[in-house]
Amino acid sequence: MRLIGLLAGVAAVALTAAAQAQDKLTLQLKWVTQAQFAGYYVAKDKGFYKDEKLDVTIKPGGPDIAPPQVAAGGGADVIIDWMPAALASREKGVPLVNIAQIYKRSGMMLTCRKDSGIKTPADFKGRTLGVWFAGNEYPFLSWMDKLGLKTSGANPDIKVLKQGFNVDPLLQKQADCISTMTYNEYWQVIDAGIKPDQLLVFKYEDQGVATLEDGFYTTEAKLKDPAMADRLARFVRATAKGWDYAVKNQAEAVKIVLNNDATGAQKANHQTRMMSEVAKLVADQPKGIGYLEPADYERTVATLLGGKSDPVITKKPVGAWTHQIIDAAMKK
């Protein structure tokens, strides 16, 4: 019995040592647990992070959580954010650096009621448009400036309605158009009873004003730490595997997301549609999921710098992205 007890003790010590070998890393999401972030939950659930000797904590976001502030305060090693918000934060003093770009395409659009009489963007003048803030307004401001429409000042050309994270302004006709994502709010409008043929959508991609959305950002200080840089490379590699699995196994990915939704607010049908749409934004990346194409970065910067009345950034960023981590991740 003593021998058995001794062996059990040795086994327990071995297991503890193995657990301690897992490097901790914290990821801050841009929003609440949903299929928008399926790849991260899949990577954790399927053991892809564990295979890379990582113990990853995934922190859900929300309306009161600004990822750049979380990074600045040391609350996460990596954050997910849209590039306009990240670059604006960098210019304001938060040294964020893009280390991987998960979404290749933008899912952002304005959704309008056809009965508003709007047929083209030229009809926006004099209208009320719902816009998300907290960093999400930057692509919209750049687009309006490109159209020559003033969004502020004494005599703005359009009325900007600070939109909550719901679709009520469109349903209640408080706004002619509202901000929506292809994978989320558009379907909330449909579920509320408005038919697709009663709506007109303007995708930022189609309007030539799309900017990069969900990407990985960390701070310059963390990148200078060799141990953290290695940890981040392993994280990116496992994440790419998670997203590849999620895109190819969408039904299973949805189940994993729902199992990780501590609030119980998400529903299977909505998450299934979201996963289908999100897959279109992630898939078909020739150089691999996570590889930031310099041309896409330059396009985003040009769009943001194009604003004259409401510039998102005032100068071309320097050192705002790197292939250091993705190159290391792809070497294995």
Domain span at 223: 22-105+212-331
Examine the domain organization and report whether 39 and 180 are in the same domain: no
In a domain, 17, yes or no: no
Cα(181)–Cα(204) distance, rounded to whole angstroms? 10
- Write down the pLDDT at residue 310: 63
Examine the domain organization and report whether 92 and 216 are in the same domain: yes
Whether the pTM exceeds 0.85: the reply is yes
Examine the domain organization and report whether 89 and 236 are in the same domain: yes
- Write down the pLDDT at residue 309: 58
- Write down the pLDDT at residue 262: 95
| HSE value, Cβ hemisphere, 13 Å, CA-based, for 267 | 6
Examine the domain organization and report whether 295 and 283 are in the same domain: yes
In a domain, 9, yes or no: no
Cα(286)–Cα(276) distance, rounded to whole angstroms? 20
Examine the domain organization and report whether 130 and 256 are in the same domain: no
In a domain, 3, yes or no: no
Cα(170)–Cα(133) distance, rounded to whole angstroms? 17
From the first residue on, what is the mean pLDDT of each consecutive set of 10 residues in the chain (332 residues)? 49 48 96 98 98 98 94 97 94 97 96 97 97 84 89 92 93 97 96 97 92 97 98 98 98 98 95 98 94 96 77 90 97 80
Examine the domain organization and report whether 81 and 222 are in the same domain: yes
Burial class (CB in 10 A: 0-12, 13-18, 19+), 9: exposed
Which CATH number does the domain housing residue 178 bear?
Answer: 3.40.190.10
Where does a domain end: 203, 236, 253? 203
In a domain, 5, yes or no: no
In a domain, 10, yes or no: no
Examine the domain organization and report whether 232 and 278 are in the same domain: yes
In a domain, 16, yes or no: no
Examine the domain organization and report whether 54 and 32 are in the same domain: yes
Record the tokens describing residue 292, joined without a space: 């930031």
199 within 8 A of 112, measured Cβ to Cβ: yes
Where does a domain end: 172, 203, 234? 203
Examine the domain organization and report whether 231 and 165 are in the same domain: no
Cα(39)–Cα(244) distance, rounded to whole angstroms? 8
- Write down the pLDDT at residue 208: 87
Where does a domain end: 203, 233, 252? 203
Examine the domain organization and report whether 230 and 101 are in the same domain: yes
Examine the domain organization and report whether 219 and 154 are in the same domain: no
185 Cβ contact list (under 8 Å, min separation 6): 111, 166, 167, 178, 179
- Write down the pLDDT at residue 312: 80
Examine the domain organization and report whether 86 and 137 are in the same domain: no
| HSE value, Cβ hemisphere, 13 Å, CA-based, for 163 | 30
- Write down the pLDDT at residue 227: 98
Q: How many domains does the chain have?
A: 2
- DSSP symbol at 77: S
